[in-house]
Structures are given as C-alpha cells and as structure tokens.
Amino acid sequence: MIFHAAFVLSLILSSTAVQLPFRYNEPETADSSSSSYQFKWPIRKVAIVGAGAGGLVTYREFTRQGFQVRVFERDSVPGGNWHYTEEVPIDAPIPNLDPSIADFRPSLPPEGAPWPYEQRLDGLEPKVVRDIKKEHRAPKPIFDRLNTTNPKQAQQFREYPWPDYAPISPTRNHVQRYIRSYASYLGINSNDDNPDISYNTRVERVDKRYTQDGEEAGWTLILRQVTQTGSNSCKIRWWTEDFDAVVVASGRYGAPNIPRIQGIQQWANIQPNLLIHSRQYRRPEAFANQSVLVIGGSVSGPEIAQDISVTASKVYLSVRASEGSILTESRKRYLSRLPQNVSIVQEIKSFHPLPDDGEGLRSGVIEFVDSTLLRGIDRIIFGTGYRYGFPFLPQFHSSSLRPNETIPTKSGKPQPLVTDGTHIRSLHLDIFYIEEPTIGFINGKCVNNGIDTFSFSEYTSSALAKVWAGHARIPSTRKMWDLHWKRLEDAGGSYGKSFLLLGDIRERERIRQLVGWLNQEAVEYGGHQLSAPAESRYEIARIWAISQFPAYFSNQNITGFTASEFLNGNQIAEAWSLSRDDW
C-alpha cells in the first residue's frame, strides 16, 4: 500500500512538531556592544584545517564573505571520513596514548633548520615509503559495506542538493562521490590545481605570532607535505605560513579509544594483530570461520558485528549498560536490528593472563562483570569510539585535569580545550575558543553526535566568518566565561562525555538560536541573512529511521497508529520523493 505523501506528512507533523522559539533570546549573546569582544588584530587571512564536509563548507562561507583563505588537507583528496581505501589506519595503541598525540605526533624539522626545510629520502623499501605516506595522511575509519546512518536529505550541503537519482540511503561510495563533486563545484578538488588548497599537507603546529614589539599578531602554521618521488623515495617539505585566524575542521575521529580493561595490554603484546579498533575494519572475509568478539554497543560495534556475522563462525557483542545517557535510545536502534546469531554479552571485567602457547587468543579466558567466562575467541574488535585531540595545538591540551577540574583562575594560565579526550571544553557556543577567539571549531560540538556536519557546518562556519568580519559580535571574554561556568554548573559541575550532548530537541533549538542571533546581528552590522533548516528535514530523518529499524519502532505508537502499519522502507522513500517541495 502506498501512502499519499501529504497524508503521511500531516500525520507526522501533527504528532511530533515541537514549538521552537524563533527569536534568539538565550543569554549566550552579547547584550550590548560595550561588552562585546574586541579582536586584537584585524582578520583577513584565514587557515582551514581539513577538507572533509566541514572544511569544504567553511571554505565556501569564508570565500563568499571576502576572506583570503587557505585550506590544508593531510590526505591526497577531499572527503575526509568518507575517503574509503583498502589501506587501513595504523594499529590503535593499547593502552591509549595521551589525547594530544593520539592522532599523530607532530613532526618538525631539526631545531634551527631554515624554513622551508626539505628532506629527500632515497633507497627506501617500498613499504617504508607507503608507511610514511600512511602515517601522514591517516586512512579513514569506514568499512567497505558501510551505509549512511541518515537519509540523503539530512546529509546534504544546502546549496548543492543530492541528485534525484541518488538512493535515499547512500552507500559510503555515494557520499564520497557527492563530497568530491561538491569540492569540484567549489573549484578546490585535488585535480583543480587551486592555490587556495594544499593537499598532502598536514598542519603540525599552530603557534601564536608576535610583532617585534611583543604584541600578539596572529598565528603561524607549521606545515608538512609528503610527496612520493619514486617507488623507493619521497620528499618531505616543511614550511610556515602566517594567518590571522584558524578554523579547525579536522574531524572528530582521529584518535581511537581503547578502554583500559584489566589484562588487555598483555593480550595485545602477545597478539598485536588480533586485537583491532573498528577504524581498521574493512570487510568480513578476513574473519571467515572465526569466532569474533566485538566490544561496544553504539553504532560501530553493532554495525560491524552484523557485517561480520555473514562469514564468521560466531560473533559476540559486548555491550555495557549506559542507562541515563541521552544516546541510550538511539543506540537501542542498532542493537534491535542485529541478526539473531550475534550474541550480546556483558561488559568485560578482565582478560585473564594469556598463555603464550601459539594458539592465538583461543586459549585465553575473558571474564565478564557478572563473573561468567568466555573462551575460544579468535579475534577482538574494539568498537569503543574515539577521543578528541588536536595534536597541532599542544599548548591547549592538559591531560592531567579530571573532568571535574579546571585550571585555577589565579594561575593566569589558559583553560585547555582538551583534557582526557572525552570532551572539548572552553568553547563559546561550541564554536569559539574563549581563550583565543581567533581559533574556531566547525565540529567542536558534535552537533547531533558529529553526524550533521553536511548541513550544520553552514551555521558554525557562518558564525565564525560573520564574527571575524565584524558582522556579528560575541560577548567580552569575561562574559563568555560567566556563561560557560553557568553551563558547566547546569551540567552538574563536571565536564565529561555528555557535556556536549543536548538531545534532538535542544539540538534543533540550538541551530535556530544560532540563525536567530546571526540574523539579528546582520540587521545591525550588515551581511547576509541565513535561513533555518527546513522542518521537514527532521521529519524525513524520522520516517527514514522507522523504515531502517522496524523492530525498534514496531512497538511504538508514533503517529497515531503503530509504525508497523506503514513499515515498508521503499514505500516511505517513494512517499517522500513525491513531496520534495523544499529539497
């Protein structure tokens, strides 16, 4: 049965529409111009770190507002997370490294060397050349059969919609092609030879620059480019460039997280290749006829467990109860579609000492929190997530601080951006670093858990461009801190994993507040007006979710009748393609 689109729409809207305030009236904006932040130097030249979805949108916003822009991308092509390769990232360190170096250790020329500095490496094994390039570019963390967790309409650059013929649930390859074609549209794809962007170029450090009189003047980037010159040789070049401001669009998933479970390190020492992080997973064939333990019950864990279940002899998924987390409900969706033959097991208490008998992991014993034991595992995959880290800003990391601790104000030292990697702190509106508002973050707040970069980075990058161009104001440093401390207090006095999570409804409010604020400022200070995301975007995502997770939704009375009454995914997709007014 095919539903008429308008019928479905009216049902959904009538039951789920939420009244959202349009006027920006949160206290996070400047209340009068006298209390607004005064930038110490004019901002014209801006660096963007990264050419994923977020970096590309940022490039678009800044160029159209007249800034001089340079984008630096460590990979050879745009696309970020979506640049799939068979080449896998380097092994995730066990135990975790300090977040400030968990993505990469900055590589600098010898001390005192003149800029630019060039190193030519010859006579290397081809594998060594490959490893140098791999460490430099960092292969991305997606697997072969990965599909998106959102319909295309919710994963769209607003000015560059998906083509009609693209499926509503794109594969990773569709997304990669979509992002690359957007980069071509902007003229900064890797084959465009555009001097606005430098590929194969990693930002190693971002340092404050001073005038001869000791006045703060901006930022100097230390850049490193790797070029392969032959099968046995490569060239590494370091140089510096000066900027007035820096946008960090380096993504959220550079530093893997492996929990500190008792005994794990000894297992990893004996069998380093048998314990991998989800970012290293590519395809199920490598697990044929093996017994696999996957750890983590969010998205990577269940999705990989499902993918592997086709070839593996047995799959276990270790899920820990995180009741009270704002994410608990959305996580249940992925668990609800696991194949029957994936067994959910408890959180792991310890790995018993592994005999070094050449049997792999098979003879090892794993103990769960309820004291039950599991033996006979061949491989372990950690779907235990990622941590924040910005290796090019080591001066703003402080890993010894606990989530409930801050730097004493009296010390005069800046509050850090990153401590234990579970969160990013000290941001105003999750965008401006309060200590240094000429450093901005595109995905600093993982808007909806980092998922909505395609559409929402338009708002975060607009905020940065408008404030830096003088078309919008942010409050004084003191006011920004007051607001931040208030927010921390509201979060129970402790930062942590949930500090940044708002939940769907408040996320939506946030975006509308951002739009409302920027538009009010534009009336006073000039610049273009923004429009809020179409409400239907959220409704499409909702209907799509119902089609993707029938088991989860079948018990819920969503639209006045139970979801199972209209659960055919194709029909829903078709219904939506009929009502494309605002797409």
Ligand X SMILES: *[C@@H]1O[C@H](CO)[C@@H](O)[C@H](O)[C@H]1NC(C)=O
Ligand Y SMILES: NC(=O)c1ccc[n+]([C@@H]2O[C@H](COP(=O)([O-])OP(=O)(O)OC[C@H]3O[C@@H](n4cnc5c(N)ncnc54)[C@H](OP(=O)(O)O)[C@@H]3O)[C@@H](O)[C@H]2O)c1
Ligand Z SMILES: Cc1cc2nc3c(=O)[nH]c(=O)nc-3n(C[C@H](O)[C@H](O)[C@H](O)COP(=O)(O)OP(=O)(O)OC[C@H]3O[C@@H](n4cnc5c(N)ncnc54)[C@H](O)[C@@H]3O)c2cc1C
Could you count the other beta carbons within 10 Å of the beta carbon of residue 134? 17
Site string for ligand Y, 299-318 (x = CB under 6 A): xxx-x--------------x
Interaction partner, residue 74 (ligand Z, ligand Y, ligand X, none; CB < 5-8 Å by kind): ligand Z
Rounded distance between C-alpha atoms, residue 372 and residue 366, angstroms = 8
| Number of Cβ within a 10 Å radius of residue 30 | 18
Of 170, 206, 183, the C-alpha closest to 59 is 183
In the list 392, 433, 441, 544, the residue contacting ligand Z (rule: CB under 6 A) is 392
Choosing from 147, 184, 363, 520, the residue that interacts with ligand X (CB under 6 A) is 147
Which one of residues 320, 413, 478, 506 is an interface residue with ligand Y (CB under 6 A)? 320
CB-CB contact of 155 with 454 (8 Å): yes
The verdict on whether omega for the bond into residue 116 sits within 30 degrees of 0, i.e. cis, is yes
| Nearest-5° Cα angle at 506, 504 to 512 | 110
Closest contact distance (angstroms) between CB of 143 and ligand X is 8
Q: Is 420 in the site for ligand X (CB under 6 A)?
A: no
* CA diameter of the chain: 76
Site string for ligand X, 316-355 (x = CB under 6 A): -----------------------x-x--------------
* Residue 396: half-sphere exposure toward Cβ, Cα within 13 Å: 22
Nearest to 35 by CA among 526, 482, 409: 482
Chain positions 28 to 57 lying near ligand Z, rule: CB under 6 A, are: 49-55
Q: Which stretch binds ligand Z (CB under 6 A): 3-11, 449-457, 501-509, 514-522?
A: 449-457
Task: List the beta bridge partners of residue 95.
Answer: none
Stretch of residues binding ligand Y (CB under 6 A), selected from 24-32, 221-229, 378-386, 423-431: 378-386
445 burial type by CB count under 10 A (0-12 exposed, 13-18 middle, 19+ buried)? buried
310 binds ligand X, rule: CB under 6 A? yes
142 counts as binding ligand Z under rule CB under 6 A: yes
Residue 143 C-beta: closest distance to ligand Y, Å: 8
Of ligand Z, ligand X, ligand Y, none, which one sits near residue 560, judging by CB under 5 to 8 A according to partner kind?
Answer: ligand X
Among 189, 250, 291, 298, binds ligand Y (CB under 6 A): 298
Task: Please answer whether residues 425 and 416 qualify as being in contact, where contact means their C-beta atoms are separated by less than 8 angstroms.
Answer: yes
How many contiguous H segments (helices) and E segments (strands) does the chain have?
Answer: 13, 21
Paired residues of 206 in beta bridges: 221
The pair of three-digit structure tokens given for residue 409, joined into one six-digit string: 């104000």
Taking the complex as a whole, the smallest distance from the CB of residue 319 to ligand Y amounts, in Å, to 6
Residues pairing with 120 in the sheet: 235
Q: Pick from ligand Y, ligand Z, ligand X, none: which does 513 bind, CB < 5 to 8 A by kind? A: none
Tokens of 519: 């538009």
Of these, 289, 371, 411, 531, which contacts ligand X (CB under 6 A)?
289
Binding residue (CB under 6 A) for ligand Z from 136, 152, 252, 282 = 252
Bridge-based pairing state of the strands 233-243 and 373-375 = unpaired
Q: Site size for ligand Y, by CB under 6 A?
A: 27
295's contact among ligand Y, ligand Z, ligand X, none, with CB below 5 to 8 A by partner kind, is ligand Y
Which residue number, 319 or 439, has a Cβ lying nearer to ligand Y?
319
Name the residue nearer to ligand Y (CB basis): 438 or 443: 443
Residue 468 near ligand Z by CB under 6 A: no
Q: Is 15 exposed, middle or buried (0-12, 13-18, 19+ CB in 10 A)?
A: exposed
Site for ligand Y contains 148 (CB under 6 A): yes
Q: Considering the rule CB under 6 A, would residue 52 count as an interface residue with ligand Y?
A: no
Contact between 171 and ligand X by CB under 6 A: the answer reads yes
Interface residue with ligand X, options 191, 262, 400, 557 (CB under 6 A): 557
**Alpha-carbon distances of 182 from 60, 106, 251, rounded to whole Å:** 10, 30, 18
Buried b (16+ CB within 10 A) or exposed e, 285-307: eebeebbbbbbbbbbbbbbbbbb
CB of 302 to ligand Y, least distance (A): 8
Contact between 338 and 421 (Cβ < 8 Å): no
99 binds ligand Z, rule: CB under 6 A: no
What are 362's two structure tokens? 């098979």
Site for ligand Z in 323-382 (CB under 6 A): none
Indicate the length of the chain as a whole number.
583
Residue 307 interacts with, from ligand Z, ligand Y, ligand X, none (CB under 5-8 Å by kind): ligand X
- Pairing mode, if any, of strands 386-387 and 255-256? antiparallel
Q: In a 10 Å sphere around its CB, with 0-12 CB exposed, 13-18 middle and 19+ buried, how is residue 160 labelled?
A: middle
Amino acid at 35: S
Give the pair of three-digit tokens for residue 408: 């004493």
x/- string (CB under 6 A) for ligand Y, residues 242-281? -----------------x-x----------------x---
451 makes contact with ligand Z (CB under 6 A): yes
Interacting residue with ligand Y among 49, 94, 295, 514 (CB under 6 A): 295
- CB of residue 449 to ligand Y, shortest distance in Å: 5
Q: Rank residues 496 and 550 by Cβ distance to ligand Y and give the closer one.
A: 496
Assigned token pair, 393:
């800003």
Strands 216-230, 379-382: pairing kind: unpaired
Decide if 281 contacts 292 (C-beta within 8 A): no
Q: Is 421 in the site for ligand Z (CB under 6 A)?
A: no
Of the pair 159, 405, the CB lying nearest ligand Z is at: 159
Taking the complex as a whole, the smallest distance from the CB of residue 291 to ligand Z amounts, in Å, to 24
Q: By the criterion CB under 6 A, which residues form the site for ligand X?
A: 145, 147, 171, 288-289, 307, 309-310, 313, 339, 341, 402, 404-405, 557, 560, 562
Q: By the criterion CB under 6 A, which residues form the site for ligand Z?
A: 49-55, 72-75, 80-82, 138, 141-142, 148-150, 155, 202-203, 249-254, 300, 392, 442-443, 450-451, 453
Q: By the criterion CB under 6 A, which residues form the site for ligand Y?
A: 146-149, 259, 261, 278, 295-301, 303, 318, 320, 322, 325, 347-348, 383-385, 449-451
